[in-house]
Amino acid sequence: MAGIYIHIPFCKQACHYCDFHFSTNLENRAAIVQALSEELVLQRDYLGVEAVNTLYFGGGTPSVLTPRELDQILDTVHKTFSVNSLAEVTLEANPDDLSREKLKALRQAGINRLSVGIQSFDDTVLKFLHRAHDATLAKRCISDAYEVGFQNISLDLIYAIPDQDEVVWERNIEEALRLKPQHISSYSLTIEEKTTFGRWAAKGKLMPVNDDTAGHQLLVLVDRLERAGFEQYEVSNFSLPGFQSKHNSSYWRSEKYLGVGPSAHSYNGVSRQFNVSNNAFYLKALQERRIPATIEVLTREDQINDYLLTTLRTSWGTDLARILSLWGYDLLAAHEGYIGALVENGHALLEGRVLRLTKNGKLLADKIASDLFLLTP
């Protein structure tokens, strides 16, 4: 199985925290859509003979596209690749783009999963983040999505927001659950250098939330969602049974994926490919029938470390027997003392040859992975 990620590099406005690649100049939107279609054709052999099981429109804000533009891209995908008839087709969307008419058109275009950037149900927080919607619009668009027939909806929430107290955070969680989503993704606010928040922090106008508070807020979320029947199947992702994100899970299971569009990444098991993060350069390359990407061939150490970094974050954990079988590296023997300490202090479980992090261990997932990394000789 394989997936295709399609990056739509446009937003109506810049959120104060976001450092993903996007442009607020929508004038060359049609040209980018055409270039995406052309790149898909140029990349038709990247996935080999594997069937495409997931499509994911990310960004930026893919919901700024018209249904006709989405149709053009999807038509190219289906003509170029072998796509499973039951493929998961996800569109990231903002509430301010999701009118009832737009939602109907998205369904007709073939979108069967929505990932909606709610972020907060507190209007003061939404203004602070520089979001374009308010809480009323957020709730209405989810209600409309169900009414037009969507049955697989994910909500995004942000925690560790400066000056957001625990009462506001708990209220956000309850508001989200009242909307009855099948999936919730929640990420800690990080202050990135080239963002408005980054500039404020550099001037001392914004103080990031400390790690202890951020960790506590995540655990509050985990506990409440578990009581509501959700599983934390990845550090930042929670689903009802049967509603895990198939596309994102393919990343964490080291399956092949093709990324098209400015700044998109691809992975085929032996190398990674990185598209240029510049809309003008991307367009010029595609006009010249070139794939605007650099390729990184993965070393044995890279492959092991990537596997550790992704699987340790998941509920299914890291298969140490697989590492030994594929790469000839006995991680348990190399780190027996460290892994034993993780188990002893309640941060991990070792079940046969599978290492799984506990709820508290997941708070330290990236550090634990880096501690276990195999260094290049």
DSSP 193: T
Q: Output the pLDDT for position 322.
A: 97
- Residue 310, judged by CB atoms within 10 A of its CB (0-12, 13-18, 19+), counts as middle
**In whole angstroms, what is the distance from residue 234 CA to residue 245 CA?**
10
Question: pLDDT tens digits, the chain, 377 residues: what are they?
Answer: 899 999 999 988 889 888 777 778 888 999 999 999 999 999 999 999 999 999 999 999 999 999 999 999 999 999 999 999 999 999 999 999 999 999 999 999 999 999 999 999 999 999 999 999 999 999 999 999 999 999 999 999 999 999 888 999 999 999 999 999 999 999 999 998 889 999 998 999 999 999 999 999 999 999 999 999 999 999 999 999 999 999 999 999 999 999 999 999 999 999 999 999 999 999 999 999 999 999 999 999 999 999 999 999 999 999 999 999 999 999 999 999 999 999 999 999 999 999 999 999 999 999 999 999 987 55
Q: Residue 115: beta bridge partners?
A: 92, 154
User: Is the Cβ–Cβ distance between 116 and 59 less than 8 Å?
Assistant: no
Pairing assessment for the beta strands 237-239 and 231-234 based on DSSP bridges: antiparallel
Q: Output the pLDDT for position 375.
A: 72
**In whole angstroms, what is the distance from residue 158 CA to residue 168 CA?**
12
Parse the chain into domains and list their residue ranges: 2-251, 314-372
Single out the residue of 57, 66, 48 nearest to residue 8, CA to CA. 57
Q: What is the CATH number of domain 2-251?
A: 3.20.20.70
**In whole angstroms, what is the distance from residue 317 CA to residue 366 CA?**
13
Q: In sequence order, what are the residues at sequence separation of 6 or more whose Cβ sits closer than 8 angstroms to the Cβ of residue 284?
A: none
Single out the residue of 28, 92, 18, 26 nearest to residue 55, CA to CA. 92
- Look at residue 176 and give its three-state secondary structure: helix
Contacts of 363-370 spanning 24+ positions with Cβ under 8 A: 363/215, 363/218, 363/219, 365/235, 365/312, 365/313, 366/309, 368/312, 368/342, 369/305, 369/308, 369/309, 369/312, 370/309
> What element of type H or E holds 60?
none
User: Is the Cβ–Cβ distance between 305 and 331 less than 8 Å?
Assistant: no
Angle between helices 279-287 and 29-42 (to 10 degrees): 50
**In whole angstroms, what is the distance from residue 143 CA to residue 100 CA?**
10
Contacts of 333-342 spanning 24+ positions with Cβ under 8 A: 335/371, 335/372, 338/371, 338/372, 342/368
> What is each CA distance from 61 to 7, 15, 58, 137, 258, in whole angstroms?
9, 11, 7, 17, 19
**Which tokens is 288 given?**
């010249």
Q: Output the pLDDT for position 376.
A: 56
**In whole angstroms, what is the distance from residue 88 CA to residue 286 CA?**
27
Pairing assessment for the beta strands 256-260 and 113-119 based on DSSP bridges: unpaired
**Which of 88-110 are b and which e, b meaning 16 or more Cβ less than 10 Å from the residue's Cβ?**
bbbbbbbbbbbeeebbbbbbebb
> What element of type H or E holds 259?
strand 256-260
